[in-house]
């Protein structure tokens, strides 16, 4: 038994983090956050060179053929840097959907482009995603109609993958007739929310889903775990920043980290946050290798990280005093990243309720 990251995973993590540190200093992050489109071509192309795009795409389609644990490692690094990259949707959920549910021909058509970064698919869930907002879509005779609000990772999308109420998914080009989009800057300026309307847009159903609802849940679970990993990275950034600040800031002739009031706030944060890293790894590994526990751990991990990170975000902001509340330090980018991750693909209440259903604890189970 060995519970931890492999040498290759640690090396990948290191190279990703040093790339992001180099390419995304605070002034660059600010510049990208102002338009708030969640996408930067030069950052995107640079990440392609590190192999981020093809991470979970099978090797025969030009990818690395890795798993959700590797995706979680990447997501933690991206969250740690508050990187405006459409990772969860376009590089994890979409390729996973094509791997699990598409025909060979569809895989040939899309997966190599996903791995190279030319095709960016935004994933839109209808009802069962557990997100507030409008989500209805129907497919008739190869024509998609409906309206879905709050699609993440969609501002730069070349395609939409729209989940239908029966669990089947339909792929449609973003520039097809009948597709209109409205990109809204979100509270998290590193990731917008897109509203999309389909008016008899030409669409193609992924043709190989035997149990479509199960397949859709698999994609949703992977997305939830990856967002939890992103939250882990963001919360860790905030804690590290608060610890560094507490070692420098002097009041009453002492650095404030020597006051037990401040020290205990930060000790509380690390005590609740550190076990979350193992939880994310475990849930990610469960998606790859422990089928029985995959759904339950995905629901719980999305919910638990949201709750812990809310506390960590609040406490670490407080530890910075007035500076934490200003725009000057930029700490709020991570605060808002955590806010965003909490609400998309199902908030903690919804995820826990799903966990209850899985265990037969609800009236309608």
Partner 1 sequence: MDLALSEEYQALQAEIRAFIATHGHKSPKVGGGRKRPDQKTLDWQKLLVEHGYAGRTIPQEYGGFGAKPDVMASAVIAGEFGRANVYAGLTNQGISMLVPTLLEVGTDEQKKAYVGPTIRGDIIWCQGYSEPGNGSDLANAQTKAELKDGFWVVNGQKIWTSSAHYADMMFLLCRTEPEKSKHEGLSYLLLSMNSPGLDRRPLKTMTGRSEFNEVFFTDVKVPETQIVLGRGKGWYVANVTLKHERLMIGDAGKMTARLEQLIKLLQKSEIDGVPLIRISEYRDRLLRLQGEVIAWKAHNLRLLTEAAQDVDSGVKRMIVKYGGTMLGFRLSSLAVDALGAAGLPYESAGEDAEDDDATTWNIDYMYDVGLMIGGGSNNIQKNIIGERGLDLPREPKVQGTVAIGRG
Contact 263, 257 (CB under 8 A): yes
Could you say which of 176, 243, 315, 329 contacts partner 1 (CB under 8 A)?
243
Q: How far is the CB of 257 from partner 1 (least distance, A)?
A: 4
Q: How far is the CB of 23 from partner 1 (least distance, A)?
A: 28
Contact 343, 225 (CB under 8 A): no
Q: How far is the CB of 317 from partner 1 (least distance, A)?
A: 17
Contacts of residue 290, Cβ cutoff 8 Å, sequence gap at least 6: 297
Handedness of CA 281, 287, 293, 297 (dihedral sign): positive
Could you say which of 1, 22, 141, 175 contacts partner 1 (CB under 8 A)?
1
Contacts (CB under 8 A) with partner 1, residues 60-119: 69
Could you say which of 25, 142, 207, 278 contacts partner 1 (CB under 8 A)?
278
Contacts of residue 219, Cβ cutoff 8 Å, sequence gap at least 6: 93, 96, 97, 100, 123, 163
Query: Quick one: 69 or 209, whose CB is closer to partner 1?
Result: 69
CA distances from 70 to 11, 77, 327, 348 (A): 11, 11, 33, 24
Could you say which of 270, 318, 323, 328 contacts partner 1 (CB under 8 A)?
270
Binding of residue 271 to partner 1 (CB under 8 A): yes
Can you read off the two tokens belonging to residue 105? 């021909």
Binding of residue 255 to partner 1 (CB under 8 A): yes
Contacts of residue 251, Cβ cutoff 8 Å, sequence gap at least 6: none
Looking from the CA of 245 toward its CB, the CA atoms found within 13 Å total 19
Binding of residue 292 to partner 1 (CB under 8 A): no
Could you say which of 3, 7, 140, 141 contacts partner 1 (CB under 8 A)?
3
Which residue stretch of 85-93, 103-111, 174-182, 300-308 sits at the interface with partner 1 (rule: CB under 8 A)? 300-308
Phi, psi of 344 (to 5 degrees): -80, 150
> Would you tell me which residues interact with partner 1 (CB under 8 A)?
1-6, 69, 243, 246-247, 254-255, 257-260, 262-264, 266-268, 270-272, 274-279, 281-282, 285, 289-290, 297, 300-301, 303-304, 307, 349, 352, 355-356, 361-363
């Amino acid at each position: 038994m060995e519970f931890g990251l492999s040498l290759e995973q640690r090396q990948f993590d290191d190279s990703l983090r040093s790339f992001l540190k180099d390419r995304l200093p605070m002034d660059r992050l600010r510049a990208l956050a102002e338009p708030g489109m969640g996408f930067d071509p030069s950052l995107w192309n640079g990440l392609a060179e590190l192999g981020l795009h093809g991470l979970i795409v099978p090797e025969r389609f030009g990818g690395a053929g890795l798993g959700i644990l590797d995706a979680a490692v990447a997501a933690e690094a991206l969250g740690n840097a508050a990187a405006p990259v459409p990772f969860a949707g376009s590089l994890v959920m979409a390729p996973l959907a094509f791997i699990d549910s598409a025909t060979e021909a569809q895989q040939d058509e899309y997966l190599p482009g996903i791995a190279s970064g030319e095709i960016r698919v935004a994933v839109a869930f209808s009802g069962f995603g557990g997100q507030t907002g409008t989500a209805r879509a129907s497919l008739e005779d190869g024509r998609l109609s409906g309206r879905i609000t709050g699609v993440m990772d969609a501002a730069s999308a070349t395609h939409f993958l729209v989940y239908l109420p029966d669990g089947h998914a339909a792929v449609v080009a973003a520039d097809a007739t009948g597709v209109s989009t409205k990109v809204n800057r979100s509270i998290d300026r590193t990731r917008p929310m897109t509203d999309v309307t389909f008016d008899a847009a030409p669409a193609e159903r992924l043709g190989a889903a035997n149990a479509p609802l199960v397949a859709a849940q698999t994609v949703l679970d992977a997305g939830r775990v990856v967002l939890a990993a992103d939250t882990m990275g963001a919360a860790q950034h905030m804690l590290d920043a608060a610890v560094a600040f507490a070692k420098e800031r002097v009041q009453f002739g002492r650095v404030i980290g020597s006051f037990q009031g401040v020290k205990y706030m930060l000790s509380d944060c690390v005590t609740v946050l550190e076990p979350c890293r193992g939880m994310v790894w475990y849930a990610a590994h469960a998606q790859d290798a422990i089928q029985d526990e995959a759904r339950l751990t995905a629901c719980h991990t999305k919910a638990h990280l949201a709750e812990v990170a809310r506390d960590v975000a609040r406490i670490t902001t407080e530890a910075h005093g007035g500076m934490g509340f200003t725009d000057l330090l930029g700490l709020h980018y991570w605060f808002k990243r955590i806010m965003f991750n909490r609400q998309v693909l199902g908030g903690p209440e919804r995820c826990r309720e799903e966990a209850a259903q899985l265990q037969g604890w609800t009236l309608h189970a």
